[in-house]
């Protein structure tokens, strides 16, 4: 039996560790507008569910006076808890303890909880707030990073991995988030970069602030490294909880069922899309017009906005949506939107989430910058991801599906299970204007009134090809439906795909164009 | 959903205007992204205008204005990323104008020498 004295000692030791880096360091953390690591964990997890591991771990470094330094928890808090009543693994780097620097034992605490999450098949949430490698520990701290990256890769596609950037995350440290599924950032708090402003200034003479180089907005709008942007840590935690509500806990689990609701009446699907194919609309409203309760949880809202991706529910079950967005850049495919869609399709496929694709695109974005940025290589990601995906794949062609864009957007030829089209849909090698210019070049050039002739030929082409029936006649489109029938048809398609089973050739892995 | 409310709140503050984008001979009404507007417009490189391919420090200038040089002649040394890069003349010709002096820091794409 424990004596009172020993219990007192345990209490004292716990209290000590829970102080993190001490009052002064905590005040500094607060002054930076940040919560402490422990507060973050408590706020994110279900009340009272946190169970801390490895509280009494100590570093073993001896050089540079480290032998006299005691670092509580070695600068990271790890453990298990629950979100929405389901178990999760979590770690949070503690910036108040030696700047959250990553030493060998710090890393070992992280890899231990990672191993646990993989073994027990539950999501892993990593809260990053660290100055980087603990230089006093030399190559041992680099070894720590490597061990983390290896486990991120091992767990990829098995359990959901979430990275939350709530402070600096610089140098090699950025690669753990980059290897995980979803990255959350908060305005003015998150900073991610490989080389910081100081180095860039001395070496290259470029003068840039941390925020401009790798702040939350930069990664949400320009680089695409972040998936969710929040104004505050509290908003960020709500986003994480929402995201998890759509996800299965592993690749052999199914997402929790949600309440089945009809779409809201605010979204009248017959009135969202203009008939003129050159006029924009917000494709997210079409998604909201078909999902349960008009629910749509968008991912990477501000990056490559010409492609919309996210989760919704249909009959209580999670579905992934991939949609061209005519409101932005006319909904073209380009380098960024291809990367965005390709990765999301693979995510859905890895976690058995059916994919619904909404098509309305004029083709690929023309331009030297696109060609030289490798739009061929990046564009191929969409083809690869759709072709490889074995989850139920349903396509709705809303208006335009031209050329390579038609093939790429989950066409029958990439093994879509169901291809539906609205009566206004145009499936053709190119739009009527471009096609008429090529097919009737001579007639237009030699006509007395070339503009009139061009208009006439465009009309001729439109009548002949600009409809869904040419493709439907060949069985490339399964049904032509009225817009209001969309939800009903999608629910039916999902219903009859529950037992989908397709084989792929035996291989170690493919060579996707990444 | 809070997501929806947030996006409508955000967009009302700075609703981007609709512009035109030509794809396949058709003009589409749509929003243009900042990234698209800021894209580098391609220009045929003029090999007679030597520009800094990397930001750095002009450590030494060997060429003088009026020198007749052949392609491959070292003109100056640009120190960048701790490397001394010899900048060679890309053409046979005359050094028309040197736009930098020794010790000067230059940014990327800064015009260094014009050849004739």
Q: Which residues of A331-356 are buried (b: 16+ CB within 10 A; e: fewer)?
A: bbbbbbbbbbbbbbbbbbbbbbbbbb
Q: Are residues A402 and A384 in the same domain?
A: yes
Domain boundaries, position A449: 432-465
> What pLDDT is recorded for position A66?
87
The answer to whether residue A257 is domain-embedded is no
Strand B111-115, strand B93-98: pairing: antiparallel
Please list the residues that pair with B114 across neighbouring strands: B49, B97
Q: Are residues A145 and A279 in the same domain?
A: no
The pLDDT confidence band at residue A3, using thresholds 50, 70 and 90, is: confident
The answer to whether residue A44 is domain-embedded is yes
> What pLDDT is recorded for position A463?
87
Is A369's CB within 8 Å of B107's CB? no
Q: Which of A21-35, A117-131, A201-215, A305-319 has the lowest mean pLDDT?
A: A201-215
Q: Are residues A139 and A108 in the same domain?
A: yes
Contact (Cβ atoms closer than 8 angstroms) between residue A168 and residue A129: yes
The pLDDT confidence band at residue B18, using thresholds 50, 70 and 90, is: very high
Q: Residues 416-455, chain A: which have Cβ within 8 Å of B?
A: 430-434, 437
Domain B49-115: CATH class, spelled out: mainly beta
Q: Are residues A420 and A285 in the same domain?
A: yes
Question: Three-state SS string across A409-442, please?
Answer: CCCHHHCCCEEEECCCCEEECCCHHHHHHHHCHH
> What pLDDT is recorded for position A273?
97
Q: Which residues of B36-60 are buried (b: 16+ CB within 10 A; e: fewer)?
A: beeeeeeeeeeeeebbbebbbbbee
Cα separation, B43 vs A389, in Å, equals 41
Query: What tens digit of pLDDT does each residue of A99-119 get?
Result: 999 999 999 999 999 999 999
**A251: Cα separation from own chain's centroid:** 17
3-state secondary structure of A84: coil
Which helix (H) or strand (E) is A82 found in, with range? strand A76-83
> What pLDDT is recorded for position B24?
87
Angle, CA A250 vertex, CA A247 and CA A253 arms, to 5°:
80
> What pLDDT is recorded for position B1?
39
Q: Are residues A175 and A50 in the same domain?
A: yes
Structure tokens at A150: 């290896």
Residues of chain B with CATH 2.40.50.100: 49-115
Question: Three-state SS string across A108-140, please?
Answer: HHHHHHHHHHHHCCCCEEEEECCCCECHHHCHH
Sign of the torsion angle spanned by Cα atoms A429, A433, A436, A437:
negative
CATH number for position A197? 3.90.226.10
Residue A128 above 60 pLDDT? Answer: yes
CB nearest B42 (choices: A204, A336, A369): A369
Distance from CA of A330 to the nearest CA of B (A): 5
Query: What tens digit of pLDDT does each residue of A70-104 get?
Result: 899 999 999 999 999 999 999 999 999 999 999 99
Burial of B29 (0-12, 13-18, 19+ CB in 10 A): middle
CB nearest B105 (choices: A205, A222, A437): A205
3-state secondary structure of A169: strand
Q: Write out the E strands in A432-500.
A: 479-480
ipTM here: 0.85
Question: What predicted TM-score, i.e. pTM, was given to this entire model?
Answer: 0.92
Query: What tens digit of pLDDT does each residue of A409-421 get?
Result: 999 999 999 999 9
**Roughly what angle, to the nearest 10 degrees, separates helices A104-119 and A139-155?**
10
**Chain B contact for A328, CB < 8 A?**
yes
Is B81's CB within 8 Å of A203's CB? yes
Nearest CA in chain B to A431: B24
Sheet arrangement for strand B111-115: B49-51, B111-115, B93-98, B68-69
Residue B12 above 60 pLDDT? Answer: no
> What pLDDT is recorded for position A364?
95
Query: What tens digit of pLDDT does each residue of B57-71 get?
Result: 899 999 999 999 999
Q: Are residues A283 and A390 in the same domain?
A: yes
The pLDDT confidence band at residue B2, using thresholds 50, 70 and 90, is: very low
Residue B3 above 70 pLDDT? Answer: no
The answer to whether residue A119 is domain-embedded is yes
**A107: Cα separation from own chain's centroid:** 25
Q: What contacts A295, CB < 8 A, 6 or more positions away?
A: A261, A288, A312, A313, B1
**Chain A contact for B107, CB < 8 A?**
yes
3-state helix, strand, coil in chain B (%, to 5): 15, 40, 45
Chain B contact probe: residue of A369, A400, A458 with most B CBs at under 10 A: A369
The answer to whether residue A9 is domain-embedded is no
Please list the residues that pair with A130 across neighbouring strands: none
Which of A54-68, A482-496, B40-54 tops mean pLDDT? A482-496
Q: Are residues A72 and A113 in the same domain?
A: yes
Residue B88 above 70 pLDDT? Answer: yes
Q: Are residues A208 and A352 in the same domain?
A: no
The answer to whether residue A2 is domain-embedded is no
> What pLDDT is recorded for position B9?
42
Q: Are residues A279 and A390 in the same domain?
A: yes
Q: Are residues A240 and A152 in the same domain?
A: yes
Please list the residues that pair with B83 across neighbouring strands: B80
Structure tokens at B24: 């396949």
Contact (Cβ atoms closer than 8 angstroms) between residue A36 and residue A77: no
Query: What tens digit of pLDDT does each residue of A433-464 get?
Result: 888 889 999 999 999 999 999 999 999 988 88
Q: Are residues A203 and A79 in the same domain?
A: yes
The count of structural domains within chain A is: 3
Residue A338 above 50 pLDDT? Answer: yes
In the predicted model, what is the mean pLDDT of residues A380-399?
98
Residue B102 above 90 pLDDT? Answer: yes
Query: What tens digit of pLDDT does each residue of A470-503 get?
Result: 999 999 999 999 999 999 999 999 999 999 999 8
**Chain B contact for A365, CB < 8 A?**
yes
Q: Are residues A304 and A326 in the same domain?
A: yes
| DSSP classification of residue B37 | H
**Chain B contact for A159, CB < 8 A?**
no
């Amino acid at each position: 039996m424990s004596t009172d004295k020993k219990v007192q000692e345990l209490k004292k030791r716990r209290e000590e560790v829970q102080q993190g880096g001490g009052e002064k360091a905590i005040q500094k953390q607060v002054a930076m507008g940040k919560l402490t690591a422990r507060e973050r964990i408590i706020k994110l997890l279900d009340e009272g569910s946190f169970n801390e591991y490895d509280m009494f771990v100590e570093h073993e470094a001896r050089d540079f006076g480290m032998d006299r330094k005691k670092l509580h928890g070695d600068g990271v808090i790890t453990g298990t808890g629950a979100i929405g009543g389901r178990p999760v693994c979590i770690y949070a780097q503690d910036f108040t303890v030696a700047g959250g620097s990553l030493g060998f034992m710090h890393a070992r605490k992280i890899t231990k909880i990672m191993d646990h999450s993989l073994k027990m098949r539950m999501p892993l949430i990593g809260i990053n707030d660290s100055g980087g490698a603990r230089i006093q520990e030399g190559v041992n701290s680099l070894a720590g990073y490597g061990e983390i990256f290896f486990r991120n890769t091992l767990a990829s596609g098995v359990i959901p991995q979430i990275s939350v950037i709530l402070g600096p995350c610089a140098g090699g440290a950025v690669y753990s988030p980059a290897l995980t599924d979803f990255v959350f950032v908060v305005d003015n708090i998150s900073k991610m970069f490989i080389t910081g402003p100081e180095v860039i200034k001395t070496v290259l003479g470029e003068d840039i602030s941390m925020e401009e180089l790798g702040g939350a907005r930069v990664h949400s709008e320009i680089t695409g490294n972040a998936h969710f942007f929040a104004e505050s840590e509290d908003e960020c935690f709500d986003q994480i909880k929402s995201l998890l509500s759509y996800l299965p806990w592993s690749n052999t689990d199914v997402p929790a069922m949600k309440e089945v609701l009809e779409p809201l009446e605010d979204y009248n699907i017959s009135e969202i899309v203009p008939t003129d194919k050159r006029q924009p609309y917000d494709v997210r409203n079409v998604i909201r017009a078909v999902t349960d309760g008009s629910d749509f949880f968008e991912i990477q809202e501000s990056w490559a906005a010409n492609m919309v991706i996210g989760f919704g529910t249909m009959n209580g079950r999670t579905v992934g949506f991939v949609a061209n967005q005519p409101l932005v850049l006319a909904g073209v495919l380009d380098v960024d939107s291809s990367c965005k869609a390709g990765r999301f399709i693979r995510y859905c496929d890895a976690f058995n989430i059916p994919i619904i694709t909404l098509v309305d695109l004029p083709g690929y974005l023309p331009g030297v910058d696109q060609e030289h940025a490798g739009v061929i290589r990046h564009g191929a990601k969409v083809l690869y991801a759709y072709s490889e995906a074995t989850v139920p794949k349903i396509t709705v062609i809303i208006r335009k599906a031209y050329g390579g864009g038609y093939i790429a957007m989950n066409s029958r030829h990439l093994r879509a299970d169901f291809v539906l089209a609205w009566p206004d849909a145009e499936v053709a090698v190119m739009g009527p204007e471009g096609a008429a210019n090529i097919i009737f070049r001579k007639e237009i050039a030699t006509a007395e009134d070339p503009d009139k002739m061009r208009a006439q030929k465009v009309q001729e082409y439109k009548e002949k090809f600009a409809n869904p029936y040419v493709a439907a006649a060949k069985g490339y489109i399964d049904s032509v439906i009225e817009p209001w029938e969309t939800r009903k048809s999608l629910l039916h398609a999902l219903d009859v795909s529950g037992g989908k089973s397709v084989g792929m050739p035996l291989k170690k892995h493919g060579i996707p164009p990444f | 959903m809070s997501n929806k409310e947030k996006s409508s709140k955000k967009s009302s503050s700075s609703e981007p205007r609709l512009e035109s984008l030509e794809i396949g001979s058709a003009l589409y009404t749509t929003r243009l992204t900042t990234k698209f507007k800021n894209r580098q417009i391609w220009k045929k490189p003029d090999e007679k205008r030597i520009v800094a391919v990397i930001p750095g420090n002009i450590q030494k200038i060997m060429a003088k204005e009026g020198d007749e040089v052949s392609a491959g002649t070292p003109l100056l040394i640009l120190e960048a990323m701790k490397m001394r890069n010899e900048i060679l003349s890309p053409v046979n010709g005359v050094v028309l104008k040197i736009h930098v002096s020794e010790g000067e820091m230059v940014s990327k794409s800064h015009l260094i020498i014009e050849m004739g």
